[in-house]
Chain A
Amino acid sequence: MTAYKIMFYLFAAMIIVFSVLTVTSRRILRAAVFLLFVLISTAGLYFWLDYQFMAGVQLTLYAGGIVVLIIFSILLTSHIDQKFTQAHWTKKIMAAIAALSGMGLCLLVLLNHQFIPGTNPPIQNNMTEIGTQLLSTGHNGFALPFEVISILLLAAMIAAIIIAKKGK
């Protein structure tokens, strides 16, 4: 049991436990904090895979941005000490059956499939390479998706302001 293995299983266990707590917690603010833990553990998995930039994006955008947005809207719309009523047990069981059967099917397919790794030599996964590929238009260039995503973010921002604006 090396340190790498221990870290991986620690992060995996944290992800699963806090995911379950996110969807079962009866206090909404606690659910948001458990979601934050899930996202941070995911960033840990990205660090484990040596994808530092992805982990940084995960921490700043997801854990820093989206969770803060969610917590703000919780504070605007709910009472902090209000507890959810439990869902009806038939609904819970039906949802659990749906989720478990889907999970079983997916795991069955995944574990029976033989993944074949590429044989080409790996590229250097550093910041220079990421920046070059993200903004290049040639082979392995991602300039078009980058521009499309910036237009989409602009449109979403304007839409959010217009929808949330009060009155006329």
Chain B
Amino acid sequence: MERYGIPLDHFLIVSTIMFFIGIYGFIVRKNLITMLMSIELILNSVNINFVAFNSYLFPENMHGYFFALIVVAIAAAEASVAIALIINIYRRFSNIEVENIDEMKY
């Protein structure tokens, strides 16, 4: 289960590290756009997993490939809606730090 000397595990290690860097960023960041960027990192790491599994384990069909394509499309839809929301929030509060957006909280 090696290709050009690289086992599947190395792909999985890279994508796991990337996923948890995204989680770390999502917890630490306070700006809405940087949190969105962390979510993009997470989605992207999952895509690497899908494509690597498809290529290494099931080369006879293309399910992982199409799943990764659909995840990319969903990421695009999610980013566009999120940015529309962020622009709307900016109009109301004049900034996009999460700790200042608490109008509905109390």
Contacts and interface: CB of A to CB of B under 8 A. Distances in A.
B102 interface: no
A54 B69 contact: yes
Given A23-B21, A70-B79, A116 B57 contact: yes
B72 A61 contact: yes
A8 B6 contact: yes
Among B6, B12, B90, B96, the most chain A Cβ lie within 10 Å of the Cβ of B6
A100 interface: yes
Interface residues of B, number: 72
Contacts, number: 227
Given A120-B60, A145-B70, A61 B1 contact: no
Contact of A98 (B6, B27, B66, B77): B27
B88 A164 contact: yes
Contacts of B36: 70
Nearest to A4: B4
A28 B34 contact: yes
B34 to A, nearest CB: 6
B70 to A, nearest CB: 5
Contact of B17 (A77, A103, A118): A103
29 contacts: A5-B4, A19-B18, A23-B38, A23-B41, A24-B25, A31-B34, A32-B37, A38-B18, A38-B44, A50-B55, A51-B65, A54-B51, A54-B69, A58-B72, A61-B73, A61-B76, A66-B40, A66-B75, A69-B79, A69-B80, A87-B30, A106-B20, A107-B16, A115-B57, A118-B59, A120-B60, A153-B76, A157-B80, A164-B87
Interface of A: 2, 4-5, 8, 12, 15-16, 19-20, 22-24, 28, 31-32, 35, 38-39, 42, 45-46, 49-51, 54, 57-58, 61-62, 65-66, 69-70, 72-74, 76-78, 84, 87, 91-92, 94-96, 98-100, 102-103, 106-107, 110-111, 115-118, 120-123, 125, 129-130, 133-134, 140, 142, 145, 149, 152-153, 155-157, 159-161, 163-164, 166
Interface of B: 1, 3-6, 8-14, 16-25, 27-31, 33-34, 36-38, 40-41, 44, 47-48, 51-52, 55-62, 65-66, 68-70, 72-81, 83-88, 90-91, 95-96
Q: Report, nearest first, the 5 A-B pairs whose CB atoms are least far apart.
A: A23-B25, A122-B59, A4-B4, A156-B77, A120-B60
